[in-house]
């Protein structure tokens, strides 16, 4: 199973008065992780949207084990937890150095531009499969 990795510096605006990154920020990092994974497969999400395949989020979850602050760099590892013809679940791990600070999942449904559910193309499914757990 392939793991797609990106690195990201913490933005100042992402912190809050507790002097750590606000918990909602992890969702934005997850979005960067899967955006970058899709780009790596040759199906960048902005082109999928343009060609009429949208992946709205229908469920998400996140566990915060540690924290990150401005000045830190984080690494987001993205894989695919479940891959079906109409839904896909991405899984994420966020690390600060060697420390795992968060894990999470986002579930997406494939819809067309009228927001009707929609089978993904075989080409797309095949491109995603290497990142999926068997």
Binding site for a second copy (CB under 8 A): 9, 11-13, 15-20, 22-24, 27-28, 31-32, 35, 44-47, 49, 54, 56-64, 67, 69-71, 106
Q: Name the one residue in this structure whose structure tokens are 């960067």.
A: 32
**Separation between Cα atoms, residue 110 and residue 117, nearest integer Å:** 6
Max intra-chain CA distance, the chain: 47
User: Could you say which of 16, 69, 72, 114 is catalytic?
Assistant: 16
For the CA atoms of the chain, what is the radius of gyration? Answer: 15
Query: Could you tell me the smallest distance in angstroms from the CB atom of residue 101 to a second copy?
Result: 11
What is the phi/psi pair of residue 125, to 5°? -60, -45
**Separation between Cα atoms, residue 50 and residue 46, nearest integer Å:** 6
Query: Could you tell me the smallest distance in angstroms from the CB atom of residue 133 to a second copy?
Result: 20
16 belongs to the catalytic site: yes
Query: Could you tell me the smallest distance in angstroms from the CB atom of residue 15 to a second copy?
Result: 4
Residues labelled catalytic: 16
């Amino acid at each position: 199973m392939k793991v797609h990795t990106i690195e990201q510096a913490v933005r100042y605006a992402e912190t809050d008065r507790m002097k750590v990154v606000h918990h909602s920020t992890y969702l934005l990092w997850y979005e960067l992780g899967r955006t970058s994974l899709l780009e790596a497969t040759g199906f960048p999400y902005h082109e999928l949207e343009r060609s009429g395949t949208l992946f709205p989020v229908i469920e998400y979850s996140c566990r915060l084990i540690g924290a990150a602050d401005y000045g830190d760099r984080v690494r987001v590892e993205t894989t695919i937890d479940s891959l079906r013809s109409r839904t896909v679940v991405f899984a994420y791990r966020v690390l600060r150095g060697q420390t795992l600070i968060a894990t999470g999942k986002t579930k997406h449904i494939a819809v067309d531009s009228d927001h009707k559910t929609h089978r993904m193309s075989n080409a797309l499914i095949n491109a995603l499969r290497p990142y999926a757990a068997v």
